[in-house]
């Protein structure tokens, strides 16, 4: 059984332990449902490892927003060469961060669980088509 590639699993917001189950309900820009599942539907991993665990995702989303700000500031300067008014930069950066917020919400949690959680490991024996019984 070939392993599911980590990059594919991260891009598709799959469970970090089995790389099969979805971490989130609903679509990226869905107004109806857009939240993290409590447990992985495939292997049963509890995504919120301990109470308040996802507060740490705020730091990841802060870093992502700083990155967007840098990219948008650079792109705005390259396109307009505006050096008179800060308001255009502020508007574009805030608008860009707002439009990216559903993506930031998901990937801050994906990065937290994949890269910043030493207790969470990929377990290849769970990466199978068989449904694992939840004990």
Q: Which of 9, 21, 47, 64 binds Zn ion (CB under 5 A)?
A: 21
Q: Which long-range contacts (CB under 8 A, 24 or more apart) does 68-77 make?
A: 68/93, 68/96, 68/97, 68/100, 69/93, 69/96, 69/97, 72/96
Query: Binding of Zn ion at residue 16 (CB under 5 A)?
Result: no
Measured from the CB atom, the residue of 81 and 119 that comes closer to Zn ion is 119
**What is the rounded distance in angstroms from the CA atom of residue 72 to the CA atom of residue 89?**
8
Query: Binding of Zn ion at residue 113 (CB under 5 A)?
Result: no
Smallest distance from Zn ion to CB 4, Å: 11
Which range, of 36-44, 71-79, 82-90, 114-122, touches Zn ion by CB under 5 A?
36-44
**Residue (of 23, 41, 12, 1) closest to 131 by Cα position:** 41
- Per CB under 5 A, contacts with Zn ion among 41-100 are 42-43, 45
Query: Binding of Zn ion at residue 14 (CB under 5 A)?
Result: no
**What is the rounded distance in angstroms from the CA atom of residue 106 to the CA atom of residue 10?**
10
Binding residues for Zn ion, per CB under 5 A?
Answer: 15, 17-18, 21, 40, 42-43, 45
């Amino acid at each position: 059984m070939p392993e599911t590639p980590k990059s594919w699993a991260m891009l598709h917001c799959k469970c970090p332990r089995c790389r099969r189950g979805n971490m989130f309900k609903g679509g990226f820009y869905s107004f109806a449902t857009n939240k993290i599942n409590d447990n992985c539907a495939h292997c049963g991993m509890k995504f919120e490892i301990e109470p308040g665990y996802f507060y740490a995702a705020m730091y990841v989303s802060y870093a992502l927003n700083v990155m967007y700000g840098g990219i948008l500031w650079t792109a705005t300067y390259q396109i307009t060469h505006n050096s008179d008014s800060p308001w255009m930069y502020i508007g574009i950066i805030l608008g860009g961060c707002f439009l990216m917020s559903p993506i930031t919400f998901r990937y801050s949690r994906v990065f937290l669980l994949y890269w910043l959680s030493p207790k969470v490991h990929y377990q290849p024996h769970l990466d199978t088509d068989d449904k694992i019984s939840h004990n």
